[in-house]
A and B are shown apart, each in its own frame.
Chain A
Amino acid sequence: MLDDVDRRILRQYQAAPELAASDLAERAGVTPSTLTRRLALMRQKGVLRGVRGVIDWRVLGYEVEVSLRVTLDKTQARAFDDFIAAAREVPEVLEIQTFLGQVDVRLSVIARDMGHYQQLYRERLLTLPHIADIEALMHVARVKGQETLPL
């Protein structure tokens, strides 16, 4: 299990994932060699899986982001498996989440513009299998997006 030192390191690391190791060690109040050893151990244990670059899709020309909330036809035994397998085939789908609640599956979808979205929606998304109901939330702005854990 993790101790307070590990948590302190992760807290600082989360807040500034691109900080130089020496600065991170200083902020976490440990020596650089402790930092290296602790991070290696946490990677080995699978607690720390990596540092991912978060793509700004707008810079790559994708202006539209939509959250599609899907209710599936649960009388079909393979509804979840079939739907998810088909959704994986659509490159513009960034996230696939399943839920316990009113919504069964949520897809995060990006498109170049509204015309492109309309085309995707009709040709690739509405045609996904076993959809009982679908509703869209159009993304306006990201107010907070660091996805940090309250360690």
Chain B
Amino acid sequence: MIALDEIDRALIRALSEDLGANAGALGRALGLSQPACWRRIKRLREAGVFRGARLDLDAQALGFGVTVFLGVKLATKGRVSLEDFERAVSAIPEVQTVEHVLGLYDYRLRVVARDISDFERVLRRRIMTLPGVGNLDANVLLSEERRPGPI
């Protein structure tokens, strides 16, 4: 585990908001020289503190009015290969995230669609036809808030 001081934490917070932030400007805000700030960012990046970058887009403005979370229970555990299911579900463009979970469901999917009838199309044609799908539980997203986390 990587050791972090207060400046590292402030940098992680800033980069989680804007990964492309300029090292000079960030450094000035934190009382660091540009090279010192750059070295810290490099160390954090090399330690793998960020698993990637995400474009924050206004889905609504881009015509995606509906987000649905689906809980999926596999019907025939043991007979269906998890790899086959995971490969097939990951290939669906409207499926944004696939998480393998333990509990009431086996997988949790985040699905975007233009509207409810578009969602119905994705559900019927693409998701219900996946190998091994059993029970489905759908919840339509109304609001979403991402928090900075314990940093």
Residue ranges of A at the interface with B (Cβ–Cβ < 8 Å): 2, 10, 13-14, 17-18, 45-57, 59-62, 67, 84, 88, 91-103, 106, 110, 135-151
The answer to whether A100 and B139 touch (CB under 8 A), given A60-B151, A110-B149, is: yes
* Closest-CB distance, A118 to chain B (whole angstroms): 16
B residues in contact with A101, CB < 8 Å: 137-140
Chain B residues in 8 Å Cβ range of A45: 61
A67 contact set on B, CB distance < 8 A: 99, 101, 108
Q: In angstroms, how far is the closest chain B Cβ from the Cβ of A108?
A: 9
Pair B58/A53 contact, Cβ less than 8 Å: no
Number of interface residues of B (CB under 8 A): 62
A56 touches B50 (CB 8 A): yes
Q: Say yes or no: is B29 at the interface (Cβ < 8 Å to chain A).
A: no
Contact A91 B149 (CB under 8 A): yes
Which residues from chain A contact B97 at a C-beta distance below 8 Å? 142, 144-147
Contacts of B57 in A (CB 8 A): 10, 14, 47-49, 149
Is B12 engaged at the interface, CB distance under 8 Å to the other chain?
A: yes
Name, among B141, B144, B149, the residue most crowded by chain A CB atoms within 10 Å (CB to CB): B149
Chain A neighbourhood of B89, CB < 8 A:
143-144
Q: Which 10 A-B pairs have the closest CB atoms?
A: A101-B139, A150-B93, A17-B53, A56-B51, A143-B98, A137-B103, A53-B19, A99-B139, A144-B98, A49-B56
Which residues of B11-43 are within 8 A (CB) of A? 12, 15-20
> How far does the alpha carbon of A95 sit from the alpha carbon of B148 in the complex, in Å?
9
Instruction: Say how far B112's CB is from chain A's closest CB, in angstroms.
Output: 6
Residue among B17, B99, B107, B146 making CB contact with A50, cutoff 8 Å? B17
B100 at the A/B interface (Cβ < 8 Å)? yes
> CA–CA, A96 to B97, complex, Å?
16
Q: Which of B96-151 touch A at CB < 8 Å?
A: 96-105, 107-108, 110, 112, 137-147, 149-151
Contact B2 A60 (CB under 8 A): yes
- Please give the distance in Å from A99's CB to the nearest CB on chain B: 4
Among B50, B86, B89, B104, chain A packs the most CB atoms within 10 A around the CB of B50
Q: How far is the CB of B47 from chain A (nearest CB, A)?
A: 6
A47 to B58, CA, bound (A): 5
